[in-house]
Structure 1
Amino acid sequence: MRVVLSSYGSRGDVEPLAALALALRQSGAEVRLVAPGDQEFADRLAGIGVEMVPVRYSVRVLAAGPRPNSPEDMAERVAALAKAQYAAVAEAAEGADTLLATGLFPAVTGARTAAEKQGLRYAYVTFFPGMLPSPHHPPYPLPGRPLPEDVSDNRTLWDLDVDSVNAVFGAGLSALRTEVGLPPVPSVRHYAMGGRPLLAADPVLGPWQRPAELDVVQTGAWFVPDERPLPADVEAFLRAGEPPVYVGFGSMGMQGSTEPARAAIEAVRAHGRRVLVSRGWADLGLIDDRDDCMAVGEANHQRLFPRVAAVVHHGGAGTTTTAARAGVPQVIVPQIVDQPYWAGRVAELGIGAAHDGPVPTFDSLSAALATALAPETAAAARTVAPTVRADGAERTAKLLLDGFGEPA
């Protein structure tokens, strides 16, 4: 069996598919992974032996560039991204049987259009419950389409969301489909998600609540087993004193790098702890040359997190779940989309603190760290850790090999 996995987004959108690719390959399938052509993805996937087909549309450039300021600009960007993903998936899909897609919505629709054109089975996956229609939560507002203030019923809001998704993404997708000889679709959202999406989130950390509009299959989160040793300088820093607090915001820009880093370092120091700062896409750095603080680049979180006192991060699904598996308290400083959800879940489970707002200050982080570093929080984190499933990718691989999916 040949499977194509398609994603477009940050590391958190690509890494889970790498885990699924490895699980599928171990089960005898042939796998190709379509991902942004940025060098970091190419290096990561080459390092674990996953065949990658690059999307010729840099996600770093997209993230750093200006936002569309008109419906016409948005339609042009949607069409460009959908077309780029379509081309990469079409290249990867020769001789394939099944496509699984995730990532930014325009990329998902481009991927499914390629699957439709080539007659592949199709499945959609998301990594947190809030992306899927449900009476238990509202949809996320789309650019230029705020949720109406006079409507509070979630079912009604999801019904309105169909029109919002069509308004934001419909013209761009229609342009691609016209170009490849396919008719427009009545609902972009339903086309992207299908009728039976996968939810690759841990049932304890991100439970799916029924009833809901869709027949959702929750698999558990997907992890690449990572045995890479830590860099020698990081290992030396860890051995030189008490466990530090890790601070890293992944692909989030954090509205500049100097002030968030300063606020975080000073807040951690105020609690008498050392600091390990991850540079990330924001290129966070040190604020002085004191030996209680170190900046680090790429590092194996599965090895690192069990050796720190707490993890301060942006709240991506992967980082949240990795920290939970490690049994370490968390402080989540949420920025966008799923991150407020994970911040709320960490607080509800008592395994960390949800920072108040997206901009960290000395006072706000100090307060959140007081919660995260409390003995009862550490105890709760240790209790939750063994309940987090580690077999999500393997379970999903079996589903796909058994024919899961629907006609594209």
Structure 2
Amino acid sequence: MRVLLSTFGSRGDAEPLAGLAAALQAQGAQARVCAAPDFAQRFAQAGVELFPVGPCVRDWIREVMADPKPNIRERASHVMDLYFDALSVAAEGCDAVLATGLFPSTVAAQAIAERRGLPYVYAGYCPTYLPSAHHRPFQFPDRPLPPETADNRERWALNTITMQEVFGEPANRHRTAIGLPPAHDLRDRVFTANPWLASDPTLSPWAPTSLCEVWQTGAWVLHDDRPLAPDLRDFLDAGDAPVYVGFGSMSLHAWTDAARIAVEAVRAQGRRIVLAGGWAGLSPADAGVDCFAVGEINQQALFPRMAAIVHHGGAGTTTAAARSGASQVVVPQIGDQPYWAGRVADLGIGVAHAGPVATVESLSAALAGALKAETRASAKAVAGMVRGDGAEVAAKRLVGMFGTHH
């Protein structure tokens, strides 16, 4: 059995698929992944076959963020062009298709599966992106707001219309080109009536709703046994547990001077710092012996050695931090990150910073809360509840459901 996995997005979208692919291979199945070339090395380390698609996501995101009025439909159409071409090739010899990531890429994955008569699964990494009476849908910036009196069911009904208006024309152009009829229910066709939720039930419990029947697998974790560099291990051994500061794939356009502010806030709490450069290119302003700069890092090895973890609130980083037992400060930037910040606060395992831009004072105050004994105790307790077998659970289900497809 061979499963085609597809995603378009940052590391938080790609790495879970590497975890799922590795789990599929452990079940005796084959897996190949369509994703941006940014993550080729990570997929190679996991022994996963990558079909790279399009430009680097990092460059694409930088362009979108720099555009004061991005044309969402135009950019979506370009992503669809890339993914229809790549998936048409990658689907050859596959028995099932599973898609995650930004919507234009999942449109392509669903259509290619439909055209080839292959089973198709849509998976999300956060509950808020799936239709539910318990939360609102994402609000497109250039679309009218529903009336304040509307309930969540009405908002999701309006969302189906909005998604069709934004993505329908390029999607149906591609569908027609490969011999499929136009889709007038695009969102629901892509999400399906039975989407999977690849997040941890403790961190992000799914509340049942009649709007869709969700199966929650647990988070897809790529187990990482890469050792920390000797000089980093020496730094960690030389004093008390430091605070990690890193914002992953966020470029932090609105938050200038983030590195200086973060370092000063951590120092104000009497702690040393491990500063991750990330896509924002953070680097320490001075060469203090209390600050160690890192690039791409094995979070599973590093995070358990931290006193606290300051991050952006991506699903992957939040899960890794929660599994480590260290408390967190989440400075949410976009998308699902405010949701994860809220969950960290609700569970008592850290502090949600108010808004995407911190000052030395606001970040230091949040960190003081995260370093409290009761917060650290809660973080350690919750760590024992967060599972690491979600990819294995999903892989077994895929093999069980579709292993005899041909």
Counterpart in 1 of 2:361?
A: 363
Shift of residue 57 of structure 1? 3.3
What does residue 97 of structure 1 align with?
Answer: 95
Quote the Cα distance in structure 1 between the aligned partners of 2:238 and 2:360. Answer: 26
How many Å apart are 1:16 and its aligned residue? 0.5
Q: Which amino acid in structure 1 is aligned with residue 136 of structure 2?
A: P
Question: What is the aligned residue count?
Answer: 403
Paired residue for 1:271? Answer: 269
319, 343, 361: which is aligned to 2:341?
343
Partner of 2:234: 236
Distance in 2 (CA, whole Å) between partners of 1:226 and 1:265 is 28
Deviating beyond 4 angstroms after TM superposition, the runs of 4 or more aligned structure 1 residues are 67-71
Q: Tell me the residue number matched to 1:26.
A: 26
> Percent identity of the aligned residues?
53
TM-score, scaled relative to structure 2? 0.96
Structure 1: gaps (5+ residues)? none
Shift in Å, 1:69: 7.2
Among 279, 282, 297, the residue aligned to 1:281: 279
Distance 1:404 1:344 in 2: 37
Tell me how far apart the structure 2 counterparts of residues 170 and 361 of structure 1 sit (CA, whole Å): 42
- Tell me what 2:380 maps to: 382
Does the alignment pair 1:353 with 2:351?
A: yes
Cα shift readout 1:332-380 (whole Å, capped 9, x = no counterpart): 0001111000000000000000000001211110111111000000000
Contact kept, 8 Å, 2:273 with 2:291, in 1: the verdict is: yes
Question: Shift of the alpha carbon at 1:86?
Answer: 1.6
How far did residue 148 of structure 1 move?
Answer: 2.3
- Match of residue 308, structure 2, among 296, 310, 316: 310
Q: How does 1:243-262 map to 2 (within 5 A)?
A: 243-255=241-253, 259-262=257-260
Secondary structure in 1 matching 2:55: coil
Q: What residue identity is the alignment partner of 2:9? A: G
Say which SS state the counterpart of residue 290 (structure 1) adopts.
coil
Matches of 1:208 and 1:299 in 2, distance apart? Answer: 30
**SS across alignment from 2:384:** helix
Q: Which runs of structure 2 are paired with 1:130-279 in the superposition (5 Å)?
A: 130-255=128-253, 259-279=257-277
The answer to whether the 8 Å contact 2:255/2:358 transfers is: no
- C-alpha contact 1:123 1:404 (8 A) present in aligned 2: no
Question: In structure 1, the residue corresponding to 2:32 is in which secondary structure?
Answer: strand
SS in 1 for 2:52: strand
Contact 1:257/1:284, CA 8 A, preserved across alignment: no
Matched-pair contact (CA < 8 Å) for 2:73–2:167: yes
**After superposition, what is the alpha-carbon deviation per residue over 1:22-43, rounded to whole angstroms, capped at 9, x for unaligned?**
11001110110111123xx111
Task: Say if 2:98 and 2:123, in contact at 8 Å, map to a contact too.
Answer: yes
AA aligned to 1:383 is A
Residues 89 and 114, structure 1, Cα contact 8 Å, conserved in 2: yes
Separation in structure 2 between the aligned mates of residue 140 and residue 66 of structure 1, nearest angstrom: 18
Corresponding residue for residue 326 of structure 1:
324
Query: In the alignment, is the contact (CA less than 8 A) between 2:246 and 2:275 conserved in 1?
Result: yes
Deviations 1:74-120 (A, max 9, x none): 33322221121122212111111100000010011011111122221
RMSD over aligned Cα atoms = 1.7
Give the structure 1 partner of residue 3 of structure 2.
3
Q: Report the AA paired with residue 31 of structure 2.
A: V
Whole-angstrom distance in 1 between the partners of 2:184 and 2:149 = 24
CA distance in 2, matches of 1:303, 1:396: 24
Tell me: CA distance 1:69–1:353, structure 2 relative to 1, closer, same or farther (3 Å): closer
1:126 aligns with 2:107: no
- Partner Cα distance (1:114, 1:192) in 2: 11
**Which residues of structure 2 form unaligned runs of 5+?**
none
Does the 8 Å CA contact 2:80/2:105 hold for their aligned counterparts?
yes
TM-score, length-scaled by structure 1: 0.95
Query: Deviation of residue 257 (structure 1)?
Result: 7.2
